[in-house]
Amino acid sequence: MGSMTGKRVVVTGGQGAFGAPLMDLLRERGAADVVTLAHGREWTVDDLSAFDPLLADADLLVLAHGAKVERAMAANCTSFVRLIERFRGLSTGTPEVWAVGSEIECHPHWGNPDLVVYKASKMAYARFARRYARDPGLTYRHIVPSAFTSRMGPGLISGRSAARIALFWIGLGCRYVPVTYTGIALLNWFRHRFGPRATDQELAAALG
């Protein structure tokens, strides 16, 4: 990861169980400016334009927002892709992106209707994550956590613990970041490394 000293960071989901403590930890590590915007008040998954002036000056974009059921595909996939591409278009250097995935990329939905929707959205984005991970014009890190306690449901660890574990791996230079107590994220590495990537047609469709 290198030093965070002096870096300008934009975080989505900065009011959430993972995003809020991550912002605090990045400030502790010397980031010069760590900012977020309030979803529903300053931006929505349909209107990302408020991020443009922030992204134009940013060194790092952290995508930590999401939804479990309502508009899950827009929240967990399409908006991620659109924000990354906006950042690429506005950045004057090699942009760095950290995006939060999920272990559900690799495990069943167990017939739970809510998880069916959530899994579909996370698996759709995982195809883009595999594409971005191999893009030489982008420094991309894919964070894959086990469930942690948040508004979306309970977990065995807190969002702060998940953020600390993620930063530990990122501090070692990892591009694939397993935040796991189940081991599933370790198995998911094989899919991330060798699985199918989003096509140019899929990218064009996501950008609409």
Q: What is the mean pLDDT of residues 105-112?
A: 82
Which domains, ranges and CATH numbers included, belong to the chain? 8-207 (3.40.50.720)
How many residues are listed for the chain in this entry?
208
Neighbours of 123 (CB within 10 A): 18
CA distance 30 to 26: 7
Alpha helices in the chain (DSSP H): 19-28, 52-56, 72-73, 79-90, 113-133, 159-171, 184-194, 200-207
Q: What is the mean pLDDT of residues 5-31?
A: 97
Q: What is the pTM of this model?
A: 0.95
Is a pLDDT exceeding 70 seen at residue 156?
A: yes
Is a pLDDT exceeding 80 seen at residue 140?
A: yes
**What are the phi and psi torsion angles at 189 (to 5°)?**
-55, -40
Q: What is the mean pLDDT of residues 124-133?
A: 98
Is a pLDDT exceeding 80 seen at residue 188?
A: yes
In this prediction, residue 138 carries a pLDDT of 97
In this prediction, residue 113 carries a pLDDT of 83
Contacts of 26 (CB under 8 A, 6+ apart): 4, 7, 9, 11, 34
Residue 1 binned pLDDT confidence (cut-offs 50, 70, 90):
low
Percent of the chain's residues with pLDDT above 90: 89
Q: What is the mean pLDDT of residues 76-105?
A: 97
